[in-house]
Amino acid sequence: MTSKGDLTKARLAESMLELIQTSGFSGTGLNAVIDHAAAPKGSIYFHFPDGKEGLGIAAIELAAKQFEALIAEAATSAGNAADAARAVIVALSTIVSESDFRLGCPVSVVTLEMGAESERLRQACVTAFESWIAATATFLEASGVDAEEAGSLATVVVSTIEGAVIVSRAMRSVQPLASAADVVAMLIEQRCGAGETR
């Protein structure tokens, strides 16, 4: 059974995650997180003794789990690896467009803002990206791509999606994400086809 304290801690991380997406890490104050989470004052330092940095790490870890779940769902429901990648990008396009282009990837936001300022936050971002690359590589391998090549291709796929999210938000258009979906699907189809002919 989840305790009240655990629920408060989770709510604080969820609020931090959402506020990072809309206001950035630097623009998110602890009072705003408390208000957004409807949490008791003092609860942040009780659950996160290292303050904003620790809360930011928790938010990044939550984002990593959410995107891993999205990848897993797409891998399970799609007919092949290219369709799975396309499904992930379509889901992200929906999130970005329905938020009026206010929501993006919180991990990229923290990387750009804090990567040179906080080694702990930078490392949390690295861990998040690596988890997405690993999950993508595993699915590509299962689809017939050579293990070493799957890692490289997965890195390209994740990097392409991350860049497309940023450009889509800047342009206030999901066209960059749609273009990324086409290119990523084509790359995966080519590599899966190459694996089958070996």
CATH of the domain at 116: 1.10.357.10
pLDDT of residue 197: 41
What is the pLDDT at residue 37? Answer: 96
Evaluate whether 175 touches 168 at the Cβ level (below 8 Å). Answer: yes
d(CA 36, CA 16): 9
Number of folded domains that form the chain: 1
The dihedral region occupied by 159, where left means phi > 0, alpha psi between -120 and 50, and beta the remainder, is alpha
The residue segments making up the domain with residue 35 are 4-197
User: In this predicted model, what pLDDT tens digit does every residue of 164-187 receive, in sequence order?
Assistant: 999 999 999 999 999 999 999 999
- Return the pLDDT at 3: 80
Tell me the pLDDT tens digit for each residue of 116-158: 999 999 999 999 999 999 999 998 998 889 988 999 999 999 9
The mean pLDDT value for 37-62 works out to 94
